Each structure stands twice: as C-alpha cells, then as structure tokens.
Amino acid sequence: MAPELAERVETAWTQSKQSHRIGVSEFTHGRKWRPELIECGVMEIYDRDHTLAWLVSYECMDAIMLRIQELEDMLEESSIRAMIRTRADTAVFKNGLEAAEEAIDIFMDRHGHLIEDVEIRNEAD
C-alpha cells in the first residue's frame, strides 16, 4: 500500500473511533457540522445514544474504497498462490503431441472395447 493511502485510511479509522458525533436533530436542522466533517472525515449521527449512521467525507470514502480494492487484490493473489501450491505436485506439463497420445490412451482404456466390437462386426460381414 502506498504510504499516503495507508495514512489516509489510518486517519479515517482513528477519526471514526474518536468522538465526532452529531445528534440527528442537529444534523437535520443545522449546517455547523459541515466544517467538522471536512476536517475529521467521519462523523457519527446518533439519536438517544444509538448510532443511526456514519457520515463519511468524499476523501475518506475514496481512501476506504481504495483500501477495500487493495485487500480484495491481495486476497485474490493469495488464493491463486495457494491453488498453485496445492496443485504443484499434480501438474505435469506436456507438449501437444504427448498430451494427444495420452488422451488417446485414456480414451482407449475407457472405451476401446466399443471400437473392438465394431471391428469384429465389420470383419464378420
């Protein structure tokens, strides 16, 4: 993660834990909270000691969304690495001719008796 992004996410997280709260009535009837939101990035809107919502500034939301994307990318990369590690012992790479010959051998092992039945019937006619 870029240091600047990490700092923005950490700031948003820290500020959400701090006491930047506004009552629902003050929120709906006033605009004094706007400069505080710009300054802190995250505000809790409450009613009778119950959190109703979190108000997040554009900059903080952008930082949060970037962090989520980064975490999703890390998860995808680790899942792919785990899948590759799991299959490392079973993966046998072959060229086209070798793969084709093996496919024919497998097919003959499974269904070769059907071809032999057809050959026997053609010889009998």
**Tens of pLDDT along 60-116?**
899 889 889 999 999 999 999 998 888 777 766 778 888 888 888 888 888 877 777
d(CA 8, CA 2): 10
Q: State which residues form the domain around 115.
A: 92-124
- Does the pLDDT value for residue 16 go beyond 60? no
Asked whether residue 58 is assigned to any structural domain, the reply reads: yes
Query: Token pair for residue 82?
Result: 């785990």
Asked whether residue 74 is assigned to any structural domain, the reply reads: yes
- Domain total in the chain: 2
